[in-house]
Amino acid sequence: MIRSEFLRVALPLLCAVIVGGVVAADDKDPADLARRAIEAYQKGDGKKAIALAEQSVQLDPRRIESWLLRARLYSAQREHAMSLVDFTEAIRLDPKAPEGWQGRGESNFRAGRFAESVADFDEFLKRAPSERPHHWQRGISLYYAGRFKDGKEQFELHQTVNTNDVENAVWHFLCTARAEGLESARKKLIPISGDSRIPMAEVHRLFAGKATPKDVIAAAEAAPKVKRAGEPLFYAHLYLGIYHEAIGEPDPARSYILKAAERADQNGYMGDVARVHAELLKKKRQ
C-alpha cells in the first residue's frame, strides 16, 4: 500500500485523536502514540511508526484501533505475515467491526492467499453490504482464486457504480475468458469511453482487437515526461502482460508483468497485483 492509500485509512484516526490543535507527546497515551506513529509514517520513517504503534498496542491491548494501525503499518512495509497477525487480533477483539476483515482480506491477497482473501472480503461485506458493488478488490481475489464466474459477476456489479473504468472492463474480460472462452470475452467486453488515464484508452482498444501492444507502449511513452516512468508505463506493462497471458503467449506476458512489478511501488493496490502476479510467475519457473 502506498503512503497516500495508508493515510486514507489512517487519517480519520489521526483526526480523532487531535482535538484543539497541536498536542504534547504522551508516551502513556495509546491514542497519542497512534497519532505520532501516523505522523512518523507520513514523514517516511516506517520503522519509527511501527515502534510507536507497538507502544500503543502494549499500553492498551484491548484497543482495536492500535492493532488496526500496526497492521496497516506492517502491510505498508510489506511485512504481510505480521500484518495478518495484527488484523486477526483486531477481528478477535471485535468480530463485528468490518475494518479488520477488509484489512486482512487485503493482506491475504498480498501474501498470495487468494481463497482466504475472498473469505475475508465476504465477511467484510456481511458487515457492510452497501459496499458490495464497489468491491473490485474482491473481484481480483476471485480471479486469482480461480472463481472466474463469481469474478465476472463482481465486475459486472462494479460496472453499475464505476462506469468509466477500463480496468474493470479488462478484469471482466479476463474472468469471462477463463469461464467462457476468449471469443465470448471479446464479444462481452464492456464498452468504456470516459477513462482519461494514459494509456487506458489504448488498453481498452487492445482488448477489443482494435490496437496493438505497440500502440499501448507508444501512448504511455508519449505521456508528459514527469509521468512517463511512473503510472502510464506501469499500467501499460501490467495490462500488456495480462493481455498476452490471456491470449496464450506466456513469454511476453512474463516479460511485461516483471516490468510492471519493478514499477509497482508508486501504484497502490494495482502495484500489489503486479507483485503478486510476478511472484506466481516466478514460482512456475522453480
User: Which CATH number do you get for residue 271?
Assistant: 1.25.40
Residues 6 or more apart whose Cβ sits within 8 Å of residue 214: none
Q: What is the pLDDT of residue 184?
A: 97
Any domain includes 186 = no
Q: What is the pLDDT of residue 188?
A: 97
Q: What is the pLDDT of residue 7?
A: 40
Q: Are residues 87 and 6 in the same domain?
A: yes
Any domain includes 117 = yes
User: Which CATH number do you get for residue 117?
Assistant: 1.25.40.10
Q: What is the pLDDT of residue 134?
A: 97
Q: How many CA atoms lie within 13 A of 113 on its CB side?
A: 14
Total structural domains within the chain? 2
Q: H or E stretch including 170?
A: helix 166-180
CA distances from 179 to 98, 136, 185 (A): 31, 18, 9
Any domain includes 118 = yes
Cell numbers placing 225: 515526461
Q: Are residues 3 and 118 in the same domain?
A: yes
Q: Are residues 118 and 30 in the same domain?
A: yes
d(CA 182, CA 124): 32
Cell numbers placing 150: 463469481
- The residue segments making up the domain with residue 272 are 196-286
Any domain includes 4 = yes
- Coil, strand or helix: which one is 22? coil
Cell numbers 511501527: residue: 50
Any domain includes 187 = no
For the stretch 140-180, pLDDT in tens is: 999 999 999 999 999 999 999 999 999 999 999 999 999 99
Contact 257, 238 (CB under 8 A): yes
pLDDT averaged per 10 residues in sequence order, the chain, 286 residues: 39 41 60 89 89 89 92 92 96 96 97 98 97 98 98 98 96 98 97 92 97 96 68 94 96 97 87 96 83
Q: Are residues 201 and 121 in the same domain?
A: no
Q: How many CA atoms lie within 13 A of 161 on its CB side?
A: 11
Of 67, 97, 127, the residue that ends a domain is 127
Q: What is the pLDDT of residue 224?
A: 80
Crossing angle of helices 231-246 and 200-207, rounded to 10°? 10
For the stretch 242-272, pLDDT in tens is: 999 999 999 999 999 999 999 988 778 999 9
- Supply φ then ψ for residue 195, to 5 degrees: -90, 105
